[in-house]
Structure 1
Amino acid sequence: MGAGHAHATPQAWAGERHRRPLWLAFGMLAVYMVVQAVAAWLTGSLALLSDAGHMFTDVLGIGMALAAIIAAGRASNDPQRTFGLYRLEVLAALANAVLLSGVAIFVLVESVRRFDDPPEVAAGPMLVVAVGGLAVNVVAFLLLRSGAKESINLRGAYLEVLGDLLGSVGVIIAASVIATTGWRYADPIVAVVVGLLILPRTWKLALAAGRVLVQAAPAHVEVALVRERLAGLDGVTEVHDLHVWTLTSGMEVASAHLNLGEGADVAAVLAAARRHLHDDFGIEHATLQVEPPSAERLCHGTSW
């Protein structure tokens, strides 16, 4: 039997490429989080408090994202970690989803409690702080937007910032309504709306992270079609023990056993298989075991 190991030219993985924007967003949000927390306490605004809470999760979430990227990069040379610590990215994304869900649920519960007797809110300072928060969140949003398309970890941080951006818009609306009409219910209502807008996105992120952790095939890869393409290669008679999974965002991995017919060119089969996996399915790392007819009785596949 023979084996083929193929991957594309090494390049910086998605998380590493976007480390600098993460640091910039982390610094800006950390500073303004303190400003919002103090302002929420002074004005008595629940909407502003919810915005400060979301910004806290932004800071914590981006911090976890950065920690995962740094740890994964440093662990790549450890021979005992054959896949490094890239999966930490996915764990950080899942932690982000849980954290943001917790904050959203807390704000929803507190908002419902305040409907009985909405407190007085200092609308002027609340509005000023909310406008500043919106500006900070827009900048952070733009910094993370491109990375969110490539990395599930950055997507978690991006959703944190998006939620906070929506929160800032909501606080501005609530402050404007209170300042012009004196209607105090605007504050808890806005807090409820922001919470309800964030939860679906958060759960979607958690499901995506869970899919990676259980090693399901990537959503964009149809495993039956992968098997069909490999089985259709010249010289291949059967494909078995085919596995496709995601290591971390942008790192799809596959392994398979290919039975060959008499006279098949092993090098040509491996080259064609690698090309199809890369070009048709975006799989850049594949380990392929090729088996000549005489090896059929020796390979029984996995027993689990």
Structure 2
Amino acid sequence: MAGHTHGATSGRLLWISLALTITFVAVELFYGLRAHSLALVSDAGHNASDALALGLAAYAVWVARRPAGPGNTFGYHRVAILTAWFNAAALVVIAIVILIEAWSVFLHPQPHLQSGLMMGVAAVALVMNTVIAYWLQGDSHHSMNARAAYIHMAGDALSSLGVLIAGAIVHYTGWTLADPIVSVMIALFILYSSWEIIIDATNVLLEGTPKGMDVPALVAAIRSIPCVQDVHDLHVWTVGDGINFLSCHIVLPDEFTVIQSSTVVSAVNHKLHDSFGIGHATIQAEIGDCSGCNMDPEELFCFLESHSHGCGHDH
């Protein structure tokens, strides 16, 4: 009943997205410097971080497929978590740099902004980033690695829209401060979108409870299995995207045989997998007392089997 990780639906899409992004970063940076547009240059910087994010995401998908070995018994699933954390941290640094540059432009406004060039490049960026974000959207729901890449691209799509608006304002009103104002908005959005990933990735690396996991409900579900008298020493953590581990001790009546204990453990495993998505559980059965279980051993065995494989009937 092993869990599994959800990598990118297609590593090929990640590599194609990376190639498109790198090409566009070079073009956008060139024209941003030519147009004297901080918004365009800052958007190119954000796109550059996206290229790094896409490259790391593609690498993480590849390396996570490597099998576990004696020196790394958990495998390489946490590479994806590390890349997500690194990508988010890099975005924070980029956002701070953009804010510093925006402040400088506020103090010393650029008198000659080529608004038409800004708008043209931003329009192309908007289309490209939207397409790539659409490609990555599906995986973003179940993979932190893919979610980091998706947020990068969705953020860039919004940033490109902001540059497009700033260019229009400069073109029709001549108000050049719209450029650094949009840059500040881009930086704040980058900080906002990065923070959640940093928190989630840090929680995984510290082996915190998986996000959204209701531990009291999990304990109650285990105790709902017939003849489980108590649960203690429970630990639940995430190894990688879609891979949650659990270990705990359960207390069973003292008249239980090895077969009966194994049947209860199997039932607990099924409950954890089906109700909480925990595919890897280490459950130690401890013998307690006779209280709390009035089922006949034969009846108990049949009951538990019927809740897992069907008590000797057709599966």
The two structures have a TM-score, normalised by structure 1, of 0.89
Alignment correspondent of 1:223: 215
CA–CA separation in structure 1 for the residues paired with 2:119 and 2:9: 36
Q: Contact (CA 8 Å) 2:200, 2:211: kept in 1 or not?
A: no
Alignment of 1:7-156 (within 5 A): 7-8=1-2, 13-74=5-66, 76-119=67-110, 120-156=112-148
Report SS of the residue matched to 1:115.
Answer: helix
Measure how far apart 1:208 and its partner are. 0.7
Q: In structure 1, what is the equivalent of residue 269 of structure 2?
A: 274
User: In structure 1, what is the Cα distance between the partners aligned to 2:185 and 2:51?
Assistant: 22
Contact 1:18 1:147 (C-alpha < 8 Å) held by counterparts: no
Offset of residue 227 of structure 1 = 2.0
Q: Distance in 2 between matches of 1:216 and 1:63?
A: 27
Partner residue in 1 for 2:176: 184
Structure-1 separation of matches of 2:9 and 2:286: 39
SS, match of residue 278 in structure 2: coil
**Distance across 1 between alignment mates of 2:11 and 2:239:** 19
Q: How well do the aligned residues superpose, as a CA RMSD in angstroms? A: 1.6
Which blocks of at least 5 consecutive residues in structure 1 are unaligned? 1-6, 295-304
Cα offset for 1:293?
Answer: 4.5
TM-score (normalised: structure 2): 0.86
Deviation at 1:204, TM superposition (A): 1.1
Say whether 1:287 aligns with 2:282.
yes
Partners of 2:224 and 2:182 in 1: how far apart?
57
Q: Please list every run of 5 or more consecutive structure 2 residues that lacks an aligned counterpart in the other structure.
A: 290-315
8 Å Cα contact 2:163-2:179 kept in structure 1 = yes
Helix, strand or coil at the partner of 2:231: strand
Corresponding position: 1:164 with 2:156: yes
In 1, distance between residues paired with 2:230 and 2:173? 74
Task: Determine helix, strand or coil for the equivalent of 1:206.
Answer: helix
- Matched residue of 1:68: which SS? helix
2:212 counterpart SS class:
coil
- CA shift digits 1:56-96 (9 cap, x unpaired): 0000111111222222222x242321110111111111101
Deviation at 1:36, TM superposition (A): 0.5
The structure showing larger relative contact order (alpha-carbon pairs under 8 Å, at least 6 residues apart) is 1
Alpha-carbon distance in structure 1 between the residues aligned to 2:188 and 2:8: 32
Preserved contact between residue 8 and residue 146 of structure 2 (Cα < 8 Å): no
Measure, in 1, the Cα distance between the counterparts of 2:32 and 2:179.
12
SS in 2 for 1:235: coil
Letter in 2 for 1:50: S
Aligned partner letter, 1:47? A
Contact 2:122 2:163 in 1 (8 A): yes
1:14 is paired with a residue whose SS is coil
Q: What residue identity is the alignment partner of 2:65?
A: G
Cα contact 2:8–2:139 (8 A) shared by 1:
no
Q: Deviations over 1:241-282 (max 9, x none)?
A: 211011112111111122221343123202210121112211
SS of the equivalent of 2:283 reads strand
- State which structure, 1 or 2, has the greater radius of gyration over its C-alpha atoms: 2
Q: Give the drift of 1:167.
A: 1.2
Question: Sequence identity of aligned pairs in percent?
Answer: 36
2-structure distance, mates of 1:134, 1:17:
23
Residue type matched to 1:153 in 2? N
Cα separation, 1, equivalents of 2:134 and 2:224? 45
Distance in 1 (CA, whole Å) between partners of 2:10 and 2:236 is: 26
User: Matched residues in 2 for 1:200 and 1:130: separation?
Assistant: 22
Residue aligning to 1:299 = none
